[in-house]
Amino acid sequence: MKFKQMKPKYILIPSVILLLVVLLFMAKDLFFTSEPDTKNPYEYDLTKFKEIDPDMVCYEEVMQLKPKTDYLYGISTDANYNLYVAGSGNILIYDVSGDLINTINVNDNAYCITVSETGQIYMGMADHVEIWNTDGEQLQSWNSMGEAAIFTSIAVNGNSVYVADAGNKVVYHYNQDGELQNKIGEKDTENGKLGFIIPSPYFDLLIGRDDELWIVNPGIHQFESYRSNGEMISSWKRTSMQLDGFSGCCNPSHIAMLSDGSFVTSEKGIERVKIHEPTGEFKCVVATPDQFIAGTTDLDLAVDSKDRIYVSDPKKGVVKVYDKVDGK
């Protein structure tokens, strides 16, 4: 069968119409488009997770301290209920009533701090440990762990000193002379050890009731206990956007422990302080998100022997003191 050849005008007319339609849509996009939607479709709306039932709150704020320093890096308490605040180039010491009793000027910023049973002040500088007494005398300065080191937490247990290094993703075990005994939590893929997952410099530890070392593995929201030789004893984790767990890249950001072995935890992303049972179950809330400025981080924690809880709030430049609510 032979087809007739289509005449050029029957091709030209549809082509012109198609071109006009394309030009019309282009003009609409260029001149009549509404304001662009600047909302990030992948951004989490944390509003509903920041709403907390008042019945879940078991502590109340009883005092605020406002240290005269540029920034609050870390806090600790001693056996006499004194509070130690690591500020910008200084350590400020307050008594149980909140009165400033001493200021110690140090060589640099201490990013984490703890006080031994003998009253010596152990400071984690950026890459090394310094030990001072309350008279303002430096007793020791240990070797640097290198340019990559970021010391974020320090704890003392008898002759052992443990330091969390977020930069090198490991915990150092020293003796009292500053001699490195071993490293805890090193990555060993051949033996299935993933090590500590630390996306940002939040890496905390503490000494438990039975002298075990508790370390937060923040990237997977896991608590891990170890013996001094680096052998893991146990672990528990809670990954959840809800109140009973932890979410985001690196939470909890800081931890402390009450006399019954319960964990006090603080978070970034959702600014709150909570208590979890020794086995990990959620117990109650200490401080709700509405008590902090949105975006607040570095909520360091300390507990005294009366189970009062201290929370460092760098955005407001204060340390908040919380006590138990009667009947809770």
Instruction: In whole angstroms, give the CA distance from residue 232 to residue 77.
Output: 28
How many C-beta neighbours within 10 Å does residue 277 have?
13
63 - beta bridge partners? 321
Does residue 168 lie within any of the structural domains?
A: yes
- DSSP, collapsed to helix, strand or coil, labels residue 61 as strand
Length of the chain: 328
- DSSP, collapsed to helix, strand or coil, labels residue 224 as strand
Output the pLDDT for position 305: 94
Does residue 110 lie within any of the structural domains?
A: yes
Is the four-CA dihedral 165, 166, 167, 169 of positive or negative sign? positive
- Answer left, alpha or beta for residue 110, where phi above 0 means left and psi between -120 and 50 means alpha: beta
Instruction: In whole angstroms, give the CA distance from residue 159 to residue 87.
Output: 27
Instruction: In whole angstroms, give the CA distance from residue 126 to residue 151.
Output: 5
Selection from 186, 227, 197 nearest residue 210 by Cα: 227
Exposed / middle / buried, residue 97 (Cβ in 10 Å: 0-12, 13-18, 19+): exposed
Selection from 89, 67, 93, 69 nearest residue 80 by Cα: 93
Does residue 294 lie within any of the structural domains?
A: yes
Output the pLDDT for position 33: 42
What is the domain extent for residue 195? 51-324
Output the pLDDT for position 8: 47
Output the pLDDT for position 5: 44
How many distinct structural domains can be found in the chain? 1
CATH of the domain at 122: 2.120.10.30
Sequence letter at residue 85: V
How many C-beta neighbours within 10 Å does residue 130 have?
19
Regions of the chain with pLDDT less than 50: 1-11, 21-22, 27-39, 41-43
Does residue 21 lie within any of the structural domains?
A: no
Selection from 169, 174, 105 nearest residue 142 by Cα: 174
Output the pLDDT for position 299: 98
Q: Are 164 and 146 in contact (CB under 8 A)?
A: no
Output the pLDDT for position 45: 59
Output the pLDDT for position 18: 53
Sequence letter at residue 174: Y
Can you read off the two tokens belonging to residue 144? Answer: 């640097």
* Secondary structure of 193-217 as H, E, C letters: ECCCCCCCCCCCEEECCCCCEEEEE
Does residue 38 lie within any of the structural domains?
A: no
Q: Are 293 and 314 in contact (CB under 8 A)?
A: no
Output the pLDDT for position 12: 52
